Amino acid sequence: MMNYEALADRVLQGETLTDAEAMAILESPDDDLLPLLHAAYKVRKHYYGNKVKLNMIINTKSGLCPENCGYCAQSIVSKAPIEKYAMMKQEEIVAGAERAASVNAGTYCIVASGRGPVNRELEIVIDSVKEIKSKHADMTVCACLGILKPEQAKRLKEAGVDRYNHNINTSAAHHSSITTSHTYDDRVNTVESAKEAGISPCSGVIVGMREMKEDIIDMARSLHALDADSIPVNFLHAVDGTPLEGTNELTPRYCLKVLSLFRFINPTKEIRISGGREVNLRSLQPFGLYPANSIFIGDYLTTAGQESDRDRQMLEDLGFEVDLEPLKKTPATV
Ligand code: SF4
């Protein structure tokens, strides 16, 4: 058996996993799962103790997107029967922040479908964020509005946006199998624009989109190179009517190996078990919090999450605590 604990110690000393070691984690026998999780927890605990960050999403604009992302129920090519609506009003967005505060979600994520925000949409988000920040100064506000121009990033920063999410989603090599309406570089450039504006970058992936294990390793390394502070790891919940309909290639044990790999490659970062947690990790969800230190509570963009009471119970049962610390720069990348 691979010495996972020694690997954790090396990671804590600033070493990087070799490709062979990274692959060995993804291909590790199921019998190794507990030693692997134990080692991943050693790294997670070093930086985050037993704290779990809670994030809550609001989908401020649903569907009506001209892009063709194969996993997304909101895209122009999706036939999924989702609710479609234009950008919400400021009051509704602010009311969502109140709901997030009431369940101790430290981060409120303002998400909108589309290639990128038009002026009117950007202004609504800006005004909403100003109002939210005037009421909840310690709440981390994250915006996720698609491809962003540098001047738009600047305006969001001035309004008080702490974090910007734009996922790389998959590896550079696999990207064109998932969407052809924008490029991998478009995505990376948006993360860079957010960083240049002084906004903390959040960027993550969707696992289970018919990629190879090499792609998973590449994604984890790309996010390390991008220095993403927050890394949502989604597990594909293929929605009927989307191009990826019927794709169901993950097991709960494999998801845990992926999360452990992400912790080893991005030891200091906030790693969030994101969309698809309930359907893919199923009864093993609690184990995911040994490598990861963050979850979404409430619903996802177009699919329902489990009730926040059950998540709260899960944390309590694990002996973990909600992380209420306001955002600060994650520890320097090793
Ligand atoms: S992921 Fe975003 S850009 Fe892609 S289709 Fe969905 S809403 Fe549009």
How many whole angstroms separate alpha carbon 55 and alpha carbon 224? Answer: 21
- Residue 313 reports pLDDT greater than 80: yes
The answer on pLDDT for 25 being more than 90 is: yes
Q: Evaluate if residue 261 carries a pLDDT over 50.
A: yes
CA distances from 12 to 2, 231, 269 (A): 17, 19, 13
Ligand 1 atom at minimum distance from 65 CA: 8
For a ligand 1 pocket test, name from 57, 62, 65 the mutation site with the most ligand atoms within 8 angstroms of its C-beta: 65
d(Cα 309, Cα 311) in Å, to the nearest integer? Answer: 5
* Closest C-alpha to ligand 1, atom 4: 69
**Six token digits for residue 127:** 């005004």
Planar angle of CA 133, 309, 80, nearest 5 degrees? 80
pLDDT single digits (tens) 51-109: 999 999 999 999 889 999 999 998 998 998 988 999 999 999 999 999 999 988 999 99
CB 291, CB 34: distance < 8 Å? no
User: Which protein residues are within 6 Å of ligand 1, measured from CB?
Assistant: 65, 67, 69, 72, 74-75, 113-115, 146
Whether residue 327 is predicted with pLDDT greater than 80 in this model: the reply is no
User: Closest ligand 1 atom, CA of 115?
Assistant: 3
Question: Could you report the per-residue pLDDT of 185-229, keeping only the tens digit for each?
Answer: 999 999 999 999 999 999 999 999 999 999 999 999 999 999 999
> By the 8 A CB rule, do 230 and 179 touch?
no
Q: Could you tell me which of 249, 150, 158 has the C-alpha nearest to residue 208? A: 249
For 247-259, the pLDDT digits (tens) are 999 999 999 999 9
State the pLDDT at residue 334.
45
Where do the domains of the chain lie, and which CATH numbers do they carry?
A: 16-317 (3.20.20.70)
Q: Which of 62, 82, 85, 113 to mutate to test the pocket of ligand 1 (most atoms within 8 A of CB)?
A: 113
In one-letter notation, the amino acid at residue 47 is Y
Q: State mean pLDDT over 255-264.
A: 98
Check whether 304 has a pLDDT greater than 80.
no
Atom of ligand 1 nearest to the CA of 68: 5
Residues 232, 266: Cα–Cα separation, whole Å: 12
